[in-house]
């Protein structure tokens, strides 16, 4: 009893988890700050470090820069002191979210009743893991002509990493396009998109000639939730959890950033060796079972994979390699061209503007990401796509944006897939590419702006 009280007192923030309760973020705010001078950068970095604030953008104080947007969550108890400290170094801020728990409560309130059959599965609501598992079963059952279910491996908590393979029977050897969603637990729109993507392909494969052409040559592999343990944890306990759920240092901290755990300049940039950090890279490269599962698959099927897509949120970016260096890979001019084409098609749907570029040049450097590791395995068309939004709701994207987000993302993703199909299977090239030179021009301009 004494021990419990002591724990509760000293580790106040841990109480909800200890008691198996939900963290409610009551009164927490999300602020946007754009430091204008170097001294303001230093001041903000100091505030973030000393109050141990939960940085969302960028993910660590070191990456705060002049005239770059910063999003940070301030716990209710720290609001006054943090705001005072900011005023003291004349940092102005904008309140993006006035009461985080209210935003999350709204998300819960608007969540529709979940339906359990395929014909009326609701793709415009967020689903807990058990629904997604059931949806995968039903998908494979009802569309056994096209969809099969497979197991990539097991998570730390022994959940099976199920994925769907969309494939038309064929005699010739086919290539693979990979898509994973939900490597970061709180980015709920990503798994919602993976489900939407499968639905669209399955629904339209008989009438859509573009999908038909693609499926002649290519099998689509979709892993709807990569970080299953983390995803479940965002539903049960902590909506804004990012990492996996592996236990470290005798249970004093949990989780690895699965997008920092790959064996590519591991833990050198934009990563942390501190296991309490949101960008903890793990004890060694590929230390996590979830990473191992992806690595095994890619290593085994390397020669077949022609495109690798990993879906995240938020920021509205289509990112090419590299994250670990400002250098641009040889493939850059082609991959950026395709990204620009995809962004242009995406924008046509609802006017949403995406930026394209290399991660390190657009945001900050980060090593150990799956995208870069896969790229350096020889799979050049390796993209990270950061879905909506651009800062209004951040990770708590309202459910009424699921459909438009998925519609536009579908257009972008299909542009990439179509390009890759035409490139690797040129004889069946379509005539739908209206004006490739325009895209070359756009992407060249973008590149110039980026490298300026
Ligand atoms: O930092 C990340 O892991 C990703 N951003 S997020 O806000 N969703 O966490 C971006 C990864 C981009 N990776 C590469 N370009 N290699
Ligand atoms: Zn079918
Ligand atoms: Zn992410």
Q: What's the DSSP call for residue 260?
A: G
Query: What is the DSSP code string of 49-118?
Result: HHTT-EEEESSSGGG--TT--EEEEE-GGGHHHHHHHHHHTT--EEEEES-HHHHHHHHHHHPPPPP-SS
CB of 319 shorter than 6 A to ligand 1: yes
Structure tokens at 251: 């249970």
- Please state, in angstroms and rounded to a whole number, the distance separating the CA atoms of residues 237 and 141: 32
Residues marked active site are found at 386
Instruction: Determine the atom of ligand 1 nearest the C-alpha atom of 312.
Output: 8
Residue 73's pLDDT is 97
Backbone angles phi, psi at 27, to 5 degrees: 80, -5
Residue 89's pLDDT is 93
**Digit-coded pLDDT (tens) for 95-118:** 999 999 999 998 888 776 666 666
- Please state, in angstroms and rounded to a whole number, the distance separating the CA atoms of residues 399 and 112: 9
Instruction: Determine the atom of ligand 1 nearest the C-alpha atom of 242.
Output: 9
Residue 440's pLDDT is 67
Backbone angles phi, psi at 102, to 5 degrees: -65, -45
pTM over 0.85: yes
Average pLDDT, the chain: 92
Residue 207's pLDDT is 96
Structure tokens at 193: 């998109």
User: Greater confidence, 157 or 360?
Assistant: 157
CB of 369 shorter than 6 A to ligand 1: yes
Structure tokens at 46: 């100091």
Q: Which residues contact 151 (CB under 8 A, 6 or more apart)?
A: 160, 161, 162, 163
Nearest residue CA, atom 2 of ligand 1?
Answer: 259
390-410 mean pLDDT: 97
The per-residue b/e assignment along 232-259, b for 16 or more CB within 10 angstroms, e otherwise, is bbbbeebbbbbbbbbebeeeeebbbbbb
**Digit-coded pLDDT (tens) for 155-199:** 999 999 999 999 999 999 999 999 999 999 999 999 999 999 999
Strands 218-223 and 54-57: unpaired
Residue 315, sorted as left (phi over 0), alpha (psi -120 to 50) or beta, turns out to be left
Q: Which of 410, 420, 415, 421 is nearest to 194 (CA)?
A: 410
**Digit-coded pLDDT (tens) for 83-92:** 999 999 999 9
Helices 209-217 & 402-424 angle (0-180, nearest 10):
50
- Judge whether residue 361 has pLDDT over 50: yes
Distance 366 CA to ligand 1 centre (A): 8
**Digit-coded pLDDT (tens) for 119-136:** 789 999 999 999 999 999
């Amino acid at each position: 009893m004494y021990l419990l009280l002591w724990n509760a007192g000293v580790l106040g923030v841990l109480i909800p988890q200890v008691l198996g309760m939900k963290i409610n973020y009551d009164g927490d705010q999300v602020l946007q700050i754009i430091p204008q001078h170097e001294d303001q950068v230093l001041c903000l970095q100091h505030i973030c470090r000393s109050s141990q604030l939960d940085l969302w953008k960028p993910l660590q104080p070191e990456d705060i820069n002049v005239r770059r947007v910063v999003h940070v969550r301030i716990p209710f108890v720290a609001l006054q002191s943090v705001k005072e400290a900011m005023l003291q170094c004349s940092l102005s801020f904008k309140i993006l979210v006035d009461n985080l728990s209210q935003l999350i409560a709204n998300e819960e309130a608007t969540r529709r009743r979940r339906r359990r059959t395929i014909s009326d599965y609701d793709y415009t609501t967020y689903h807990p893991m058990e629904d997604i598992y059931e949806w995968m079963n039903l998908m494979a059952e009802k569309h056994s002509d096209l969809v099969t279910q497979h197991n990539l491996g097991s998570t730390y908590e022994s959940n099976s990493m199920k994925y769907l393979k969309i494939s038309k029977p064929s005699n010739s050897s086919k290539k693979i396009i990979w898509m994973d969603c939900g490597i970061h637990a709180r980015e709920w729109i990503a798994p919602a998109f993976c489900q939407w993507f499968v639905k669209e392909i399955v629904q339209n494969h008989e009438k859509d000639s573009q999908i038909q052409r693609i499926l002649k040559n290519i099998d689509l592999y979709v892993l709807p939730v990569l970080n299953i343990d983390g995803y479940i944890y965002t539903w049960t306990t902590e909506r804004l959890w990012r990492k996996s759920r592996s236990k470290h240092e005798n249970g004093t901290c949990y989780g690895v950033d699965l997008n920092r755990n790959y064996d590519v300049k591991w833990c050198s940039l934009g990563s942390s060796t501190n296991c309490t950090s949101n960008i903890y890279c793990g004890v060694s490269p590929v230390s996590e079972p979830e990473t191992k599962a992806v690595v095994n698959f890619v290593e085994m099927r390397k020669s077949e994979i022609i495109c690798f897509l990993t879906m995240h949120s938020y920021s509205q970016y289509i990112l090419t390699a590299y994250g670990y260096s400002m250098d641009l890979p040889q493939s850059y001019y082609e991959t950026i061209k395709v990204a620009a084409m995809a962004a242009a098609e995406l924008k046509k749907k609802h006017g949403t503007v995406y930026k394209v570029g290399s991660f390190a040049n657009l945001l900050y450097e980060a090593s150990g990401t799956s995208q870069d590791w896969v790229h350096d395995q020889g799979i050049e068309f390796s993209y990270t796509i950061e879905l909506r939004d651009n800062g209004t709701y951040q990770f708590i994207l309202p459910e009424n944006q699921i459909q438009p987000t998925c519609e536009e993302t579908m257009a972008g993703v299909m542009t990439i897939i179509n390009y890759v199909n035409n490139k690797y299977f040129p004889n069946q090239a379509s005539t739908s590419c209206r004006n490739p030179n325009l895209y070359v021009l756009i992407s060249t301009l973008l590149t110039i702006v980026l490298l300026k």
